[in-house]
Amino acid sequence: MSTIIRKASIMGGDPADIRIEDGQIVAVGVNVGGADVEIDASGLIALPGLVDLHTHLREPGGESSETILSGSRAAAAGGFTAVHAMANTSPVADNANVVDYVYRKGLEAGYVEVRPVGAVTHNLAGESLADIGAMARSTAAVTVFSDDGKCVGDSLLMRRALEYVATFGGVIAQHAQDPRLTIDAQMNEGAMSAELGLAGWPRVAEEAIIARDVLLAEYTGARLHVCHLSTAGSVEVIRWAKQRGIQVTAEATPHHLLLTDDLAQNYNPLFKVNPPLRTRDDVEAVRRGVADGTIDIVATDHAPHGSATKDCTWSDASFGMVGLESALSIVQHALVDTGLIGWADVARIMSTTPARIGSVDGYDAPLTVGSLANITLVDPSATTVWGADKLAGRSTNTPFTGLTLPGRVVHTFFRGTHTVRDGSIVELSQAGNA
């Protein structure tokens, strides 16, 4: 079957038609012929399918909050064609069996490419290395390893992990949180935590681990990726490390590009997240860090939680918020509509660079002839009053309810398969369509 997307603005540039056959882009330009299906994309921007380096799909073990299928659908709705599923499931993805299970379930769902992330340490316990080699050699061919949710605090283990993954081109994605400095921490340490009487989470707990880890990356010659950095100081450490030529990449989440710690003032647990929301100065520094390339990518840290762990007091609530479906709109709102970056930069920070860091094939020369037809068509002039009713996943813990957000994902194609059509998720038969 052939499909033609008519008059899409290619990454915000000139309009062109895109012809898709057998999952590939076979023509881009003005005379691309006719097709079985034609889509009028006038006014829409064509982006390469988005790639998330940091998603929690909760399966196995947390299916009441999210499943690989429900999370894949949410991802497609948000314009994603690949997601990296974090390892903090139950059982933990610290061996080949679990990562292959996640990988296979992703294929069965068929909405996005699900790339399992392997744990760095057994059972995320921080005591001994997980079966990193076996996961790398598995069918899932894991290249990204992370204890996300927990920090690899032990310096020697971190060194060994970096040395190990360097042998096959893998990367350690660190959740930078000094455990001793954040015992019982509930929110950013500062004036607001003092006013609210909540235990503070100092910036230095993040910055000190990042500083240690970039030096370990330099010493070992390995690749380090820093998850969800949240402070102005963290941006400075990454900037310094890059100037020294250290192989480090960094991500920021959409919520750390927008929200601040004063939102905790009503003790609404929807704003409780790890790392915590920081101050306006931090948000500005993180935005500038993305704009000047110090921060390489935006990753969602999509963290679904059921009402039992969110509809409770702040201190009892789990950390995290869902983010797959709102990510592109938040990036447009915080970075594009503010003039800090353009749409080609959005393609870079949300698709091609995360694909490169995560070794996802097919994103090197996006939207060109011969590339996989992973395409997201977004209407930048649309606006949406955000709310839980906009969400396709199993959990509704979004902090953006009531906010008017710009932009809307109108179509998503995953390897030529139409996964979102006119803003609605396409029902795929759940076998073998990927």
| x-or-dash string of contact with Zn ion, 221-240, rule CB under 5 A | ------x-------------
In the complex, what is the shortest distance from the CB of residue 361 to Zn ion, in angstroms, rounded to a whole number?
A: 26
Residue 213 interacts with Zn ion (CB under 5 A): yes or no: no
Residue 175 interacts with Zn ion (CB under 5 A): yes or no: yes
Q: Taking Cα atoms as reference points, which of 243, 244, 211 lies closest to residue 226?
A: 211
In the complex, what is the shortest distance from the CB of residue 156 to Zn ion, in angstroms, rounded to a whole number?
A: 22
In the complex, what is the shortest distance from the CB of residue 303 to Zn ion, in angstroms, rounded to a whole number?
A: 8
In the complex, what is the shortest distance from the CB of residue 289 to Zn ion, in angstroms, rounded to a whole number?
A: 18
CA distance 162 to 141: 17
Q: Taking Cα atoms as reference points, which of 269, 258, 255, 277 lies closest to residue 200?
A: 277
In the complex, what is the shortest distance from the CB of residue 225 to Zn ion, in angstroms, rounded to a whole number?
A: 12
In the complex, what is the shortest distance from the CB of residue 357 to Zn ion, in angstroms, rounded to a whole number?
A: 16
Q: How many CA atoms lie within 13 A of 101 on its CB side?
A: 18
Residue 371 is which amino acid? Answer: S
Beta strands in 170-246 (DSSP E): 171-174, 187-188, 200-201, 224-226
Size of interface with Zn ion, in residues (CB under 5 A): 3
Nearer to Zn ion, 148 or 206 (CB): 148
Longest dimension (CA), the chain: 66
Restricted to residues 392-431, the positions that interact with Zn ion (CB under 5 A) are none
Q: Which residue has the tokens 């898709």?
A: 20
| x-or-dash string of contact with Zn ion, 313-352, rule CB under 5 A | ----------------------------------------
CA distance 103 to 98: 9
- Tell me which stretch binds Zn ion (CB under 5 A): 87-95, 147-155, 358-366, 378-386: 147-155
Q: Are 205 and 174 in contact (CB under 8 A)?
A: no
3-state secondary structure of 86: coil
- Tell me which stretch binds Zn ion (CB under 5 A): 171-179, 184-192, 258-266, 362-370: 171-179
Q: Are 416 and 3 in contact (CB under 8 A)?
A: yes
- In the residue annotation, 36 being an active-site residue is answered as no
Nearer to Zn ion, 227 or 409 (CB): 227
Residue 148 interacts with Zn ion (CB under 5 A): yes or no: yes
Residues β-bridged to residue 417: 414
Q: Are 55 and 327 in contact (CB under 8 A)?
A: no
- Tell me which stretch binds Zn ion (CB under 5 A): 1-9, 141-149, 289-297, 344-352: 141-149
Nearer to Zn ion, 105 or 175 (CB): 175
Nearer to Zn ion, 5 or 227 (CB): 227
Output the residue with the shortest Cβ distance to Zn ion: 175
Name the catalytic one among 301, 311, 316, 379: 301
Q: Are 411 and 422 in contact (CB under 8 A)?
A: yes
Q: How many CA atoms lie within 13 A of 87 on its CB side?
A: 35
| x-or-dash string of contact with Zn ion, 74-113, rule CB under 5 A | ----------------------------------------
In the complex, what is the shortest distance from the CB of residue 149 to Zn ion, in angstroms, rounded to a whole number?
A: 6
In the complex, what is the shortest distance from the CB of residue 227 to Zn ion, in angstroms, rounded to a whole number?
A: 5
CA 257-195-397 angle, to 5 degrees, is 45
CA 142 vs. chain centroid, Å, equals 17
Nearer to Zn ion, 46 or 86 (CB): 86
Residue 5: partners with Cβ closer than 8 Å, 6 or more residues away: 17, 18, 20, 39, 41, 46, 375, 377, 411
Nearer to Zn ion, 35 or 259 (CB): 259
Q: Which residue has the tokens 């927990």?
A: 150
Residues β-bridged to residue 4: 19, 38
Nearer to Zn ion, 88 or 398 (CB): 88
Residue 290: partners with Cβ closer than 8 Å, 6 or more residues away: 252, 257, 298, 335, 340, 341, 349
Nearer to Zn ion, 209 or 410 (CB): 209
- Tell me which stretch binds Zn ion (CB under 5 A): 168-176, 310-318, 370-378, 415-423: 168-176
If one counts every other C-beta atom within 10 angstroms of the C-beta of residue 339, the result is: 8
**Residues annotated as part of the active site:** 301
**What residue ranges bind Zn ion (CB under 5 A)?**
148, 175, 227
